[in-house]
Amino acid sequence: MLTRRFIIGLAAAMILLGLGMTAYFTQDRWQGWLADDLPRSGPQARPDAAFEELRMLKLSRQARKNLGLVARPVELQTYWRSIQVPGVIVDRPGHSDRSVTSPAVAVVLKVHAYPGETVKPGEPLFTLRLISEYLHKAQSDLFKSTQETQLVTKERDRIAPLVKTGAVAEIKLIDLENQLKRLATAAQAHRQDLLARGLSGPQVEAVAAGKFVTEIEVLAPEPHVDGQRLAAARPVPAPPRKTAPAYEIQELKVELGQQVQVGQMLCMLANHQSLYIEGKGFKREAGFLENAAEMSWPVRVEFAEDDSKRWKPLEQDFYIRHLANTVDVTSRTFSFFIPLANQSRSYTKDGKTFLHWRFRPGQRVRLHVPVEELQDVIVLPVSAVVRSGPEAYVFCQNGDFFERKPVHVLHEDRQFIVLANDGSIRLKLDHVAQSAAASLNRVLIAQNSGGGLPPGFHVHPDGTVHGAH
């Protein structure tokens, strides 16, 4: 009897051991059945809680300062979609540079202004000693014509009473009158010739009196009458003409004691008040540029290496004046030109005046040429939006909390990003972080990488995540 009970107990133990071993080795199959039957209660049991918790994070005041976060309400704007075109500041032909030439064959006796210095119109640039035979002959001819005019005038005055009495034939008086007219014409021609050669009016009169000129001064020319006028599709305000110097000596072409010929360049003067921005466009951009020029759409200009804090704000708009009708054979680009009114400051040192120009020829710029107008859109800095695959997000602030919201991007360039007004951001209510969206997104992912909700959050029955009340 005892033996039978022992056998039954041993068999039961073996059966239980077999069932236990079977359950142990098949637990990956049957544990899921038991999990499905567990009651689903409490906020942590929601299958979408992990997704919802990624929408919000909490940042301390110090953390916001470290990131430089600034949140502002958004409102609808009008934005011009544009293309970026490289450009460079260049001199405006016929306005910026001006050459000074020698009026006669001469020797450079004095140089009154040197490169870097500035001169006003009418101030002396050079003193030349005349060695021109032509100029000396012109002075002699003028003096001779003046002297002969005086002699003929005296002879005419002497015989005029005799003609009235009949002692002298009237034909003699007529001949003298004609001779005076010829001499006056010749003297006037000599005067104009000397004036054209650089002599002043008083000097020409001195030559007529017998005081020949051996030295002349070459003066700075008068500025262009339309030098300040910027021909653009729309009026551009000319800068105030408060800088006294009109020209800067850009390059000296002669030396002391050097002999110069008629028309030889003595120096190059520069006035960078009126400049051009020369843009370089490709063939595929020609239509956009032509349309912007015809419609007088304003072009946004980014100036490289420009310290705007040291200068007054630019009070002008930029418009394409004209497009070049030739293509560069090397770069396969064509040029278009935008007028630019420059700014300057002057200072005096050692009795000489020097100029600082804000913009200089050769300075690089980036041009944003408008091609399409986008109305009723939200415009944010590029750093205010972060991308994650096909999604784009912004962060809206509510106290210490930042909520990540998906948005629809319409356009993006180097500085700004344009969002559609589709209701994802509430106008004038949501305060959107203007920068550091990528950093906020990394912090959000890092906070939730361990699973569960961050401290201070809870899940509502509708599945949304909120901070503790």
pLDDT tens-digit profile, the chain (469 residues)? 556 676 777 777 777 777 777 666 666 566 555 544 444 444 444 444 444 446 788 888 888 888 888 899 999 998 988 889 999 999 998 888 889 999 888 999 999 999 988 888 888 999 999 888 888 888 888 888 888 888 888 888 888 888 788 777 888 888 888 888 998 898 899 888 888 877 888 888 888 888 888 888 899 988 765 544 433 334 444 444 444 457 889 999 999 999 999 889 999 999 898 999 999 999 888 999 999 999 999 999 999 888 888 888 888 899 999 999 999 888 899 999 999 999 988 888 888 888 889 999 999 999 999 988 889 999 999 999 999 889 999 999 988 889 899 999 998 888 889 999 988 898 888 899 999 899 888 888 877 665 545 555 544 433 344 555 5
Residues 6 or more apart whose CB falls under 8 angstroms from that of 109 comprise: 126, 127, 128, 129, 215, 256
Decide: helix, strand or coil at residue 312.
coil
Q: What is the pLDDT of residue 88?
A: 95
Can you tell me the distance from the alpha carbon of 235 to that of 290, in angstroms, rounded to the nearest whole number?
19
Can you tell me the distance from the alpha carbon of 235 to that of 447, in angstroms, rounded to the nearest whole number?
56
Phi, psi of 194 (to 5 degrees): -70, -40
Q: Where are the domains of the chain?
A: 49-79+375-467, 107-219
- State whether the Cα torsion 376-382-385-390 is positive or negative: positive
Q: How far apart are the first and last CA of the chain?
A: 73
Q: What is the pLDDT of residue 259?
A: 93
Task: Please tell me the number of Cα atoms within 13 Å of 200 on its side-chain side.
Answer: 9
Residue range 49-79+375-467 in CATH 2.60.40.3470: no
Q: What is the pLDDT of residue 432?
A: 92
Q: What is the pLDDT of residue 297?
A: 92
Which of 210, 54, 231, 223 lies closest to 122 in space, CA to CA?
223
Could you tell me which residues are beta bridge partners of residue 82? Answer: 370
Which residue in the block uniquely carries the two structure tokens 């009340």? 469
Beta strands in 104-257 (DSSP E): 106-111, 118-119, 124-130, 215-219, 247-252
Q: What is the pLDDT of residue 339?
A: 95
- Whole-angstrom CA distances from 139 to 130, 147, 304, 340, 447 are 12, 12, 56, 47, 96
What is the token pair recorded at 465? 């995540």
Residues 6 or more apart whose CB falls under 8 angstroms from that of 379 comprise: 77, 79, 416, 417, 418, 419
Q: What is the pLDDT of residue 298?
A: 92
